C-alpha cells in the first residue's frame, strides 16, 4: 500500500509504545550483547557509499510532498482535526488512573481542571497561523505537569509521561486552532502531529512572514545542538537533525562555505519576525540531502548513543522521532506516530511468518536506510546486515525481562545499532515476546 490511510494521524499517539517501555532499576549486565560491536551506521549496507538509494525523480516527488505537508498548516482556514481527536486526552484519562509529578494518583479534580483549561466547547477559538520559535513540547493537555502510569509497574512512571506527545522543533509551521482558558497554551497542528504548545514558544504568522519564510530553498541541520544566533548576536535556538530552515535567497552561501538561514523570532507583541543566522559549514546542508549511504550514515552516526526521550522529552528522541528526523533531511515525510510510519511506502506484512522467514525477507527486499521495521509500538530502521543477520538502527527504551514471574526491563535507553534479536543471550529476557524479532509484524520501504 502506498501513502494511504493518512487522513488523520492516530492519537492516542504513544500509548501503544508502552508495550516496549519500562522504568529503571533493571538488571545490570554488560551492554555488549545488546548491540553490535561496530556502532557505525555505514558498516552494514555493503553498497557504494555514493550510490543513490532513491532516484532523483522519486526524491523530487517526495520532497514536494514533504514541503506541501510542512507548510500546509499555513494553508488552513479551519482545523483539520475535530474536537474528539484533539481533546482525546480528556476522555482517555477519565477511566485510566494516572499519577502526578509527586508519584501519587491524580484524582478526578485534576481531569476536571484540565477540561476547564481545555475549553473544548469553544473549539476552535483561534484559527491563526503560527510558527515555533523555540524547541518546545507538544502536550496532550494544556499543562507541563506529567501524568504517569502506575510508577510501581514495569514500563510505567518516569519518563513515560502520557501527556508528552512530541517535540516541536523551532521553525516548524503551525496552525493554531485554539487556546487554553489561562492563555498559556495553544492547540496547534503541524506536519507530523497536533497538541498543545506553550504560548511563549510560538509566534503569530502574517501573510508577509509566511511569504518571506517560504523561500523555496531550505537547509537541513546535519549536526546535533547547533547554536543559532542571529546577525545581531541574539541567541535564538538550537538546531538538531530534523530542523529545517529557509535559506536566505540573497545570501545562500557565505564566504566560509556556510549557509545563511532565516530563523523565526517573536516580537514583543508575539508576532513572528524573520531574523538571519549564519550556520557554519558542516552544520547544515541544502535540503534534501543526496540519498546516499554515506549521507544517511553520517547523520545516523551523529544520533548514535543519544539518550532515549519519550515523546521528545528533554529534546531527546524516541523510536519514531529518530526515523522522522533522519528522513526529513532527505525530504521524506513521516508522521510522528510509529504505527502510521509503518503504513507508508511499500509495505510487506509479515504476519504468520517464522522468525527465520522474516529475516530472509528483510535481507532480500529491504533497502538499507529506507526500510522501516515495525513491531507494535516500535519502529526501527534497517541499515544492512552482519553475518547474515539483518541490522537495524533504533532508539529503544529497553527489553522486557521476567524473573520469578515479575516483569522488568533491561534498559538500553538510547539510539543503538543491533540485530533484531538484541539480548537474546540475556538469562532473564522475557521469552518469546522480549525478542524483538518475534513480534515484528511488517516492514515498509520509503518513500
Nearer to its own copies, 222 or 289 (CB): 222
Q: Would you state the cell numbers that stand for residue 237, as one nine-digit string? A: 535556538
Enumerate residues 6+ apart whose C-beta is below 8 A from 170: 132, 133, 134, 135, 136, 236, 237, 238, 239, 243, 263, 264
Q: State the minimum distance, in angstroms, from the CB of residue 131 to its own copies.
A: 14
CB of 257 to its own copies, least distance (A): 22
In the numeric block, which cell numbers belong to residue 436?
Answer: 524483538
Q: How far is the CB of 215 from its own copies (least distance, A)?
A: 20
Question: Please, what is the minimum distance in Å from the beta carbon of residue 265 to its own copies?
Answer: 5
- Smaller CB separation from its own copies, 161 or 291: 161
Is 18 or 61 the residue whose CB approaches its own copies more closely? Answer: 18
DSSP letter string, 36-66: -S---TTSS--S-TT--SS-HHHHHHHHHHH
Cell reading at 345:
511506502
> Is residue 430 within 8 Å of 401, Cβ to Cβ?
yes
Minimum CB distance to its own copies, residue 233 (Å): 9
Q: Which of residues 274 and 360 has its CB atom nearest to its own copies in the complex?
A: 274
Residue 64 or 153 with smaller CB distance to its own copies: 153
> Is 86 in a helix, a strand, or coil?
helix
Under DSSP, the state recorded for 289 is P
Give the CA distances from residue 290 to residues 12, 93, 174, 303, 406, in Å, rounded to whole numbers and listed in that order: 34, 44, 27, 19, 48
CB of 403 to its own copies, least distance (A): 15
In the complex, what is the shortest distance from the CB of residue 412 to its own copies, in angstroms, rounded to a whole number?
8
- Judged by beta carbon, residue 120 or residue 229, the one nearer its own copies is 229
Cβ proximity to its own copies, 283 vs 344, nearer residue = 283
In order of 173, 195, 247, 270, the CA distances from 180 in angstroms are 20, 12, 34, 16
CB-nearer residue toward its own copies: 147 or 323: 147
Beta carbon of residue 145, minimum distance to its own copies (angstroms, whole number) = 5
Between 81 and 310, CB nearer to its own copies: 310
CB of 297 to its own copies, least distance (A): 22
* Nearer of residues 288 and 413 to its own copies, judged by Cβ: 413
Q: How far is the CB of 313 from its own copies (least distance, A)?
A: 7
Residues 6 or more apart whose CB falls under 8 angstroms from that of 23 comprise 151, 154, 155, 156, 157, 158, 160, 409
Enumerate binding residues for its own copies (CB under 8 A): 23-25, 99-104, 134, 144-146, 151-152, 157-159, 181-184, 199-200, 225, 227, 229, 232, 234-235, 237-238, 265-270, 273, 275, 307-309, 313-316, 397, 411, 413-414
Residues 6+ apart with CB under 8 A from 299: 222, 241, 289, 326, 329
What is the arrangement of strands in the sheet containing 185-189, beginning at the earlier edge strand? 164-168, 136-139, 194-198, 185-189, 173-179, 128-132, 202-204
Q: How far apart are CA 287 and CA 236, in angstroms?
A: 21
Distance CA 11, CA 337 (A): 8
Amino acid at each position: 500500500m502506498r501513502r494511504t490511510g493518512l487522513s488523520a494521524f492516530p492519537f492516542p499517539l504513544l500509548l501503544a509504545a508502552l508495550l516496549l517501555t519500562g522504568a529503571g532499576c533493571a538488571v545490570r549486565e554488560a551492554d555488549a550483547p545488546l548491540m553490535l560491536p561496530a556502532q557505525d551506521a555505514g558498516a552494514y549496507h555493503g553498497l557504494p557509499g555514493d550510490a543513490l538509494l532513491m532516484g532523483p525523480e522519486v526524491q523530487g516527488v517526495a520532497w514536494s510532498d514533504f514541503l506541501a505537508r510542512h507548510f500546509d498548516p499555513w494553508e488552513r482556514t479551519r482545523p483539520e482535526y475535530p474536537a474528539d481527536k484533539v481533546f482525546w486526552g480528556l476522555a482517555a484519562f477519565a477511566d485510566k488512573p494516572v499519577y502526578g509529578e509527586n508519584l501519587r494518583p491524580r484524582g478526578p479534580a485534576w481531569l476536571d481542571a484540565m477540561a476547564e483549561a481545555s475549553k473544548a466547547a469553544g473549539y476552535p477559538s483561534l484559527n491563526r497561523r503560527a510558527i515555533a520559535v523555540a524547541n518546545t513540547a507538544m502536550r496532550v493537555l494544556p499543562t507541563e505537569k506529567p501524568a504517569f502510569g502506575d510508577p510501581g509497574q514495569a514500563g510505567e512512571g518516569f519518563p513515560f509521561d502520557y501527556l508528552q506527545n512530541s517535540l516541536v522543533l523551532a521553525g516548524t509551521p503551525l496552525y493554531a486552532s485554539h487556546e487554553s482558558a489561562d492563555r498559556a497554551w495553544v492547540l496547534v497542528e503541524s506536519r507530523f502531529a497536533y497538541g498543545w504548545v506553550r504560548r511563549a514558544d510560538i509566534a503569530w504568522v502574517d501573510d508577509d512572514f509566511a511569504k518571506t519564510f517560504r523561500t523555496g530553498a531550505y537547509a537541513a541541520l546535519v549536526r546535533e545542538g547547533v547554536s543559532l544566533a542571529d546577525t545581531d548576536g541574539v541567541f535564538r535556538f538550537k538546531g538538531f537533525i530534523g530542523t529545517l530552515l529557509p535559506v536566505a535567497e540573497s545570501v545562500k552561501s557565505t564566504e566560509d562555505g556556510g549557509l545563511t538561514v532565516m530563523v523565526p523570532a517573536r516580537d514583543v507583541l508575539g508576532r513572528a519576525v524573520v531574523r538571519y543566522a549564519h550556520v557554519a559549514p558542516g552544520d547544515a546542508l541544502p535540503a534534501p540531502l543526496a540519498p546516499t549511504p554515506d549521507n544517511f550514515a553520517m547523520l545516523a552516526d551523529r544520533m548514535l548513543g543519544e539518550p532515549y526521550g519519550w515523546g521528545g522529552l528533554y529534546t531527546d528522541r524516541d523510536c519514531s522521532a529518530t526515523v522522522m528526523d533522519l528522513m526529513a533531511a532527505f525530504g521524506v515525510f513521516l508522521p510522528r506516530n510509529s504505527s502510521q510510519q509503518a503504513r507508508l511506502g511499500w509495505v510487506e506484512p509479515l504476519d504468520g511468518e517464522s522468525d527465520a522467514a522474516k529475516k530472509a525477507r528483510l535481507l532480500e527486499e529491504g533497502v538499507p536506510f529506507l526500510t522501516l521495521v515495525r513491531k507494535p509500538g516500535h519502529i526501527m530502521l534497517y541499515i544492512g546486515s552482519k553475518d547474515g543477520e539483518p541490522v537495524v538502527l533504533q532508539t529503544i527504551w529497553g527489553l522486557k525481562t521476567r524473573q520469578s514471574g515479575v516483569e522488568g526491563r533491561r534498559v538500553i535507553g538510547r539510539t543503538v545499532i543491533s540485530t533484531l534479536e538484541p539480548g537474546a543471550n540475556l538469562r532473564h529476557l522475557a521469552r518469546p515476546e522480549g525478542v524483538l524479532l518475534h513480534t515484528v509484524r511488517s516492514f515498509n520501504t520509503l518513500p
